[in-house]
């Protein structure tokens, strides 16, 4: 891994730059660098452990931590940093200093540090730029092993974040029209089928279903942009996600079936509508249209409010807002959801929740579906869970009435979670329809 690290020294500016291109989205790299639950897993050289005493990532906030060798050799090193600029997920500026065990700053140890996260088609370029008071201090830092320490930290960061993105699972990539890298897995034999995930989900969530379907299809299971190992490119437009599917269709030989779940089903609809003969068949599980008074509509400013929460760093609040307003989950149940490990994963994907809100558009406003939005004449199966809320059954029937070759099918004993919780049942319905 060390050969991927670029080192630059500028003696005129007294700057040392240690740079690495990492195969992960900028948002995930940023979270790895700025969230307490992540930073202790990788920060520091190999063979050292990090203890964080305080981490307040905002201008004026303080980060206090210590580094200690696992074999207890040497002394524990205490450091105190003060954040000056925090521009998520692109720029982090802080002044780092050494300290004693009482957190008194060691004189003349200031290191003005800028960390840049630059989105690239192949992932993210992370640059650690450290400016010293004198060239002598820069030379001393290099002699003490700063370059090796940062290089080790990059290695550890990549290894740790890979576990969050599915470990060492092999994924292939395609490049979308705007340069975004889309990562996917491919398995099975038979007609090509591309799986489009729902909100707050990545390819891992649909993997069990993909494995079942791979007995009858060549399954392309991908991370939508901004999720997992796929990168992202601002500004967001739903049309860019259709282009992502278009790139996957090209990788699949130019034509494929689409399977979409929840809001991913609506994205699959959009792709089929815009990409013509490239999409040969649609499998849709519970598109979450709200077309009547079966439940309250999503607020008109839903997307704007989600974006404001994420921009303010309130990722948990964004997930809670999504759960209550888009999923319609009563407040008394959200506390239980927060206690589940899946909540942390949804937080990591919070910046993409607004994407699905854009895709849904006005179809969750309580009004009938627009009769002219989708001109699709390919075989389509719209599935619902028998135990799901009435809105999903109403939505399925309304959509089937608009599409000339659509059938509906209810899965006995299932609800909105069937794709993840009952992949065998969903796979059987798809295979039966195919036959």
Tokens of 259: 């399977």
d(CA 218, CA 221): 10
pLDDT at position 409 is: 97
- For residue 22, the cross-strand partners are 124
Q: Is the peptide bond before 107 cis (omega within 30 degrees of 0)?
A: no
Q: Output the 3-class SS for the chain.
A: CHHHEEEEEECCCCEEEEEEEECCCHHHHHHHHHCHHHHCCCCCCCCEEEEEEEECCCCCCEEEEEEEECCCCCCCEEEEEEEEEEECCCEEEEEEEEECCCCCECCCCCEEEEEEEEEECCEEEEEEEEECCCHHHHHHHHHCCHHHHHHHHHHHHHHHHHHHCCCCCCCEEEECCCCCEEEEEEECCCCEEEEECCCCCCHHHHHHHHHHHCCCCEEEEECCCCCCCCCCCCCCCHHHHHHHHHHHHHHCCCCEEEEEECHHHHHHHHHHHHHHHHEEEEEEECCCCCCCCCCCCCCCCHHHHHHHHHHCCCHHHHHHHHHHHHCCCCHHHHHHHHHCCHHHHHHHCHHHHHHHHHHHCCCCCCCCCCCCCCCCCCCEEEEEECCCCHHHHHHHHHHHHHCCCEEEEEECCCCCCHHHHCHHHHHHHHHHHHC
pLDDT at 3: 47
pLDDT at 1: 37
Burial of 285 (0-12, 13-18, 19+ CB in 10 A): buried
Tell me what pLDDT residue 2 has: 41
Output the CA–CA distances (angstroms, integers) from residue 41 to 46, 50, 306, 346, in the order listed.
Answer: 11, 8, 29, 20
**Are 277 and 255 a contacting pair, CB within 8 Å?**
yes
> CA 386 to CA 96: how far, in whole Å?
58
Q: Name residues of the chain where pLDDT drops below 50.
A: 1-3
Q: Structure tokens of 265?
A: 């089903």
How far apart, in Å, are the Cα atoms of 138 and each of 17, 133, 360, 375, 407?
11, 8, 53, 64, 69
The label of the residue with tokens 């992202």 reads 232
- What is the reported pLDDT for 46? 87
Q: How far apart are CA 323 and CA 316, in angstroms?
A: 11
- Cα 157 to Cα 152: distance, rounded to the nearest angstrom: 9
Is residue 143 within 8 A of residue 149, CB to CB? The reply is no
């Amino acid at each position: 891994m060390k050969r991927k690290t670029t080192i630059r020294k500028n003696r005129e500016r007294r700057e040392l730059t240690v740079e690495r291109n990492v195969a992960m989205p900028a948002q995930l790299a940023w979270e790895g660098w700025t969230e307490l639950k992540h930073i202790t897993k990788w920060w520091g050289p190999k063979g050292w452990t990090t203890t964080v005493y305080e981490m307040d990532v905002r201008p004026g906030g303080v980060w206090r931590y210590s580094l200690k060798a696992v074999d207890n050799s040497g002394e524990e090193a205490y450091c105190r940093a003060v954040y000056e600029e925090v521009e998520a997920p692109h720029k982090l500026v802080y002044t780092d200093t050494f300290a004693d065990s009482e957190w008194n700053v060691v004189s003349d140890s200031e290191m003005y540090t800028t960390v840049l996260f630059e989105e690239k088609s192949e992932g993210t370029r992370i640059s650690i730029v450290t400016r010293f008071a004198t060239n002598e201090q820069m030379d001393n830092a290099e002699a003490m092993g700063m370059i090796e320490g940062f290089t080790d930290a990059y290695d550890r960061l990549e290894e740790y974040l890979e576990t969050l993105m599915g470990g060492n699972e092999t994924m292939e990539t395609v490049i979308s029209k705007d340069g975004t890298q889309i990562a996917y897995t491919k398995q099975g034999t038979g007609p090509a089928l591309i799986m489009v995930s729902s909100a707050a989900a990545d390819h891992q969530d649909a993997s069990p279903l993909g494995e079942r379907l791979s007995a009858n299809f060549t399954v392309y299971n991908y991370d939508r942009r901004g999720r997992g190992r796929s990168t992202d490119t601002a500004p967001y437009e739903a049309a860019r996600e259709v282009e992502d599917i278009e790139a996957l269709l090209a990788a699949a030989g130019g034509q494929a079936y689409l399977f979409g779940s929840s809001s991913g089903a609506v994205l699959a609809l959009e792709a089929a509508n815009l990409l013509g003969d490239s999409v040969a068949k649609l499998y849709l599980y519970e598109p979450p249209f709200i077309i009547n008074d079966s439940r309250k509509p999503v607020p008109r400013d839903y997307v704007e409010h989600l974006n404001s929460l994420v921009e303010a760093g309130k990722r948990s609040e964004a997930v809670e807002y999504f759960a209550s307003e888009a999923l319609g989950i009563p407040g008394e149940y959200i506390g239980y959801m927060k206690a589940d490990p899946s909540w942390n994963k949804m937080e990591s994907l919070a910046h993409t929740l607004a994407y699905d809100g854009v895709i849904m558009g006005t179809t969750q406003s309580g009004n009938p579906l627009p009769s002219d939005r989708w001109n699709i004449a390919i075989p389509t199966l719209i599935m619902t869970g028998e135990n799901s809320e009435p809105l999903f059954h109403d939505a399925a029937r309304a959509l089937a009435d608009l599409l000339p070759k659509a059938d509906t099918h209810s899965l006995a004993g299932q609800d909105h979670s069937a794709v993840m919780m009952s992949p065998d049942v969903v796979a059987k319905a798809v295979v039966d329809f195919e036959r």
